[in-house]
Amino acid sequence: MPMKPRRPCSVPGCAGLASPEGRGRCERHAAEAAAGRRARDWRRRREDPGRALYGLARWQAMRAAHLAANPLCAECGRMGLAAMADTVDHVIPHRGDRGRFFDAGNLQSLCKQCHDRKTAREDGGFGNRQGGQAAGERGGAAGAARGGGPDSSGPLRC
């Protein structure tokens, strides 16, 4: 069976032809993209020492036990809603501190939407400035008092 003709490289201005393994890029640009991904992943691992803690068996067991004991989203519960939790969140971000990471009193069960919203608020994602809350401040109470969700910027539904 004849092979399909190769397409032009997807990088603007490149006259090369895409290689079958290059994700739409010629061999040169595919290699550059792969090197960029490797460098980005290395920087991410280097800059966040707490990332490695999530792979430990101790954390996996602690997470499973917490979700079994607290299956509902704590943030949704504060808003009078019921949603199944799928994430165990550190109320106060651990920032690589093993003591705070494994502190069972610093954990809460959240659904993915509530966790993503909280993380974006704390880490500066989605255009928010980094450190949107004071260290140790729990989300939810102030926003709920204003009549909205945990950050009062979205609908009440999680």
- What is the 3-state secondary structure of 94-111? CCCCHHHHCCHHHEEEEC
Characterize 1-26 residue by residue with b for buried, 16 or more Cβ atoms within 10 angstroms of its Cβ, and e for exposed: eeeeeeeebebeeeebebbeebeebb
Average pLDDT, the chain: 79
Q: Is the dihedral of CA 64, 89, 52, 37 positive or negative?
A: positive
The pLDDT confidence band at residue 5, using thresholds 50, 70 and 90, is: confident
Domain range list for the chain? 7-47, 51-128
Q: Does residue 132 carry a pLDDT above 80? A: no
Instruction: For 63-81, write each residue's pLDDT tens digit.
Output: 999 999 999 999 999 999 9
Average pLDDT over residues 140-156: 40
The pLDDT confidence band at residue 137, using thresholds 50, 70 and 90, is: very low
The pLDDT confidence band at residue 51, using thresholds 50, 70 and 90, is: confident
Assigned token pair, 22: 């290059």
Q: Interior CA angle at 107 toward 47 and 125, to 5°? A: 45
In the chain, what percentage of residues exceed pLDDT 90?
Answer: 45
Residue 87 β-bridge partners: 110
Give the C-alpha distances (Å, rounded to integers) separating 23 from 10, 29, 148. Answer: 9, 10, 44
Region label for 140, one of left (φ > 0), alpha (ψ between -120 and 50) or beta (otherwise): left
